[in-house]
Structure 1
Amino acid sequence: MKHKNSFELFDYWTEKRGARTAPSRTDIEPADIRTLLPHVFICDLSADGQLNFRLAGTALCALHGRELKGSAFASLWLADGVRNAGRTGASVATGATPAVLSLDCLSQGGRVAQAEMLLLPITGPSGLNDRLIGLLSIFDQPYWVGHEPVVGFSSTGIRFIDQAREPVFLANRPEIRLPTPRNFAEAFGQNRKKVAHLVVLDGGRRD
């Protein structure tokens, strides 16, 4: 982890977890993390195993220029990263192992911002590991964020967090580098098509 917001949420999650593998959703008090709420989201698994947004902070929705509640977690990625993103999210939710993703965020105009996404498991009413709480933090936030929507993420690295280690060591854990598209212009072109005067973005869903 590198962003201070990630450390703050991780410390809070660890406190609420106690001796358990994951805290309950009811343990999370919004007032306790009010400064992080615009960037926080909660996802749960549907009956078919797909991870969907139950809640999404205002900053995250503004970043994409749309309401995210009810949409698929993996739909935020460019087409070539949808499957891996879905598997990673589901692995965190069901396996109770936190993860940190390094991301490149591609805007509608082809601009790029670097971000970090923290994924932490939480349990639902059933007591089962079937959901997660997450946080997206953008590094050196560029001027266009909130004005030019992001059309897709590309994961550039991932690290799973060993809960037995102290948080002070987390920043030094090795990151698994992931392949990225040769260039974002190419990736952007692969995720859109023209219909009359409109541009349609492919979210990667395959029914």
Structure 2
Amino acid sequence: MRHKNSFELFDYWTEKRGKRAAPSRTDIEPADIRTLLPHVFICDLNDDGQLNFRLAGTALCALHGRELKGTAFAALWLADGTRNAGRTGASVASAATPAVLSLDCLSNGGRVAQAEMLLLPITGPSGRNDRLIGMLSIFEPPYWIGHEPIVGFSTTAIRFLDQDRDPLFLANRPEIKLPNAPNFASGFTNNRRQVGHLVVLDGGRRD
């Protein structure tokens, strides 16, 4: 973890967890994390193994320019990353293993911002591991955040966390780089051009 908000939510989750694998949803008091709430979301796992947004903070919805409640968690990713994102989120919820994702966030104007997503397991009313609480934190938010909706995430790395270790030493679970993740920062920024009111991203075959 690198973002201070991630450390704050992780510390709160750890306190509420106690000696359990995960805290209950009812243990989470919104007033306790009021400064983080705009960036926080809760997802639940349905019978088909798909994560869906149960709640989504105002900042997260504004970032995408739409209400996220009821939508699929994996739908926030670009097409080539949806399957991996869905599996990662489902694994956090069902196996009670926290994770941190490093993300590239692509806007509809072809711009890119870097972010960190923390995923933490929680239990529902049944006591089963079928939910997670998460948070998205943008690093050094650029001026266009909130004006150009994010059209998709690309996961550049994943780190699974050992919840029994102090957060300062969470590097004991090394970050797993994803070699096939597109490099938006150098690609889309250089290869975009304006055509009328649209931004065209050059790509595809050259032969």
Q: TM-score range by the shorter chain?
A: 0.7 to 0.9
State yes or no: 1:180 paired with 2:202.
no
Q: Secondary structure at the match of 2:136?
A: strand
Alpha carbons of structure 1 residues 6 and 112: separation in structure 2 relative to 1, 3 Å: same
Alpha carbons of structure 1 residues 182 and 143: separation in structure 2 relative to 1, 3 Å: closer
Structure 2 match to 1:132:
132
Structure 2 match to 1:192:
none
Rounded to whole Å, the distance in 1 between the matches of 2:183 and 2:23 is: 40
The answer to whether the 8 Å contact 1:2/1:171 transfers is no
State yes or no: 1:96 paired with 2:96.
yes
Deviates more, 1:108-117 or 1:176-185: 176-185
Q: Secondary structure at the match of 1:81?
A: helix
The answer to whether the 8 Å contact 2:162/2:173 transfers is no
Rounded to whole Å, the distance in 1 between the matches of 2:106 and 2:126 is: 37
The answer to whether the 8 Å contact 1:51/1:73 transfers is yes
Shift of 1:92: 0.1
Rounded to whole Å, the distance in 2 between the matches of 1:172 and 1:152 is: 30
Q: Secondary structure at the match of 2:130?
A: strand
Percent identical residues: 83
| 1:116-175: CA deviation from partner (whole Å, max 9, x where unpaired) | 000000000000000000000000000111110000000000000012211120256421
TM-score by length of 2: 0.88
Amino acid at match of 2:12: Y
Q: Secondary structure at the match of 1:129?
A: coil
Unaligned runs of 5+ in 1: 190-196, 200-207
Structure 2 match to 1:36:
36
Structure 2 match to 1:72:
72
Amino acid at match of 1:80: D
Structure 1 match to 2:202:
none
Structure 2 match to 1:12:
12
State yes or no: 1:22 paired with 2:22.
yes
Aligned residues: 191
Q: Secondary structure at the match of 2:133?
A: strand
- Rg comparison, structure with higher value: 2
Rounded to whole Å, the distance in 2 between the matches of 1:108 and 1:64 is: 10
Structure 2 match to 1:154:
154
Structure 1 match to 2:113:
113
Q: Secondary structure at the match of 2:104?
A: strand
Shift of 1:181: 2.1
Deviates more, 1:176-185 or 1:72-81: 176-185
Rounded to whole Å, the distance in 1 between the matches of 2:172 and 2:5 is: 17
TM-score by length of 1: 0.88
Rounded to whole Å, the distance in 2 between the matches of 1:95 and 1:173 is: 16
Alpha carbons of structure 1 residues 85 and 64: separation in structure 2 relative to 1, 3 Å: same
Amino acid at match of 1:25: R
State yes or no: 1:87 paired with 2:83.
no
Amino acid at match of 1:84: N
